[in-house]
Amino acid sequence: MATHPAFRTNSLLLLLLLCAPAPLTAAGSEEAAHWLERMNHAVNRLAFHGTFVYLSGEILEALELRHRIVNGRLQESLYSLNGSRRRIERNGDRLVITTWEKGVPKRYTSPSHGRLSPLKPLEFEFLRNYYQLKMGTPTRVAGRQGVVVVLAPRDDLRYGYWLVLDKATALPLELAVFNHQGRVVSRVMFTQVETDQETADNPTQPQAAHASSKSPSNAPAVSPEKEKKAVSRWRFKTLPTGFQVVGRQYNPASGQNHFILSDGLATVSVYVEPLAKGDKPFDGDTRLGSVNAFGRHLGRRQLTVVGEVPLKTLKLIADAMEQEP
């Protein structure tokens, strides 16, 4: 099965439980919410750049990140510092991905449904329904003093998250994901970060995690009515608790339907696309680092569900997909 670009890109998003968390108390929960609120403010208003390492399974990457806001539009870039040379740039709702083959750059564009940075705003009031918020033991990352916020899952449908926030700016310095056995499945840690303390003239606003995402595509133009009809042929009977459809897109050139689901923190991509003559269906599950994938064929169509969530959740989402009569 060919790996979807989103399979690898999504694996660079959020990411431990290295320190024993403080006991959960109402005061601890409110303090954690306060720090998350500060983090949202920092992520949406501060310009910064730095380098970080990403560990997922046996995958270890070093990347350079630049983040700024220009005329109210978020601009980000990621550049690989090891392995295959590649760059991903985001300007508003458009991604430009550059790879090099034998020294020759190749570029393609796609819509952007999320941030390149592992630092994204969170809707903590919404998250309270599915995660316990608590404070952990303070630590030090990238030469900066940090406070620790833990988001522990309330069920087995999602992973837990551990964040280290810079005590001075509230920018995340380290993010990790842990499973229900307490084992770290992925981790992002900045080794160096510099911030511009001056706030942007036109800061972006935190985007509702459960709001619909509407991004332009470089695919051939298609009328909204035709796109809506094509996408609406597929629907979810039910979804795992807390997950909602936050974005959807139809590519008329390939016939691919793409749905984005989220619980406000974890993100799952669902693809439904035609099987070409001679294509072998992907039935079963696989994993790339911390990112799970589950697939099955629906007649002559391939259904693929990808995300940094437990395999159980992916199967429930796949079971919920159906085509309208």
Q: Which domain holds residue 303?
A: 224-323
- Asked whether 289 and 15 are in contact (CB, 8 A), the reply is no
Q: Is the pLDDT of residue 112 over 90?
A: no
- Asked whether 214 and 42 are in contact (CB, 8 A), the reply is no
Q: Let me know whether 167 and 54 are in one domain.
A: yes
What secondary structure does DSSP assign to 175-229, as a single string?
EEEE-TTS-EEEEEEEEEEEEE-SPPSSPPPPPPTTS-B----SSPP--HHHHHH
Examine residue 213 and state whether it is found in any structural domain, yes or no. Answer: no
Q: Let me know whether 128 and 270 are in one domain.
A: no
Q: Is the pTM of this model over 0.85?
A: no
Half-sphere exposure of 161 (CA within 13 A, CB side): 29
Q: Let me know whether 53 and 188 are in one domain.
A: yes
Count structural domains, the chain. Answer: 2
- Asked whether 135 and 22 are in contact (CB, 8 A), the reply is yes
Quick one: the chain helix, strand, coil %, rounded to 5?
15, 45, 40
Residue 34 vs residues 30, 43, 78, 123, 319: alpha-carbon distances, Å: 6, 14, 29, 12, 38
Please report, rounded to a whole number, the percentage of residues in the chain having pLDDT higher than 90: 43
Examine residue 218 and state whether it is found in any structural domain, yes or no. Answer: no
Half-sphere exposure of 320 (CA within 13 A, CB side): 20
Which of 13-22, 38-47, 91-100, 183-192 bottoms out in mean pLDDT, i.e. has the lowest? Answer: 13-22
Examine residue 306 and state whether it is found in any structural domain, yes or no. Answer: yes
pLDDT in tens, 59-71: 889 999 998 878 7
Q: Which residue has the higher pLDDT, 214 or 146?
A: 146
CATH code, 316: 3.30.200.100
pLDDT in tens, 272-319: 999 988 888 899 999 887 789 999 998 889 999 999 999 999 999 999
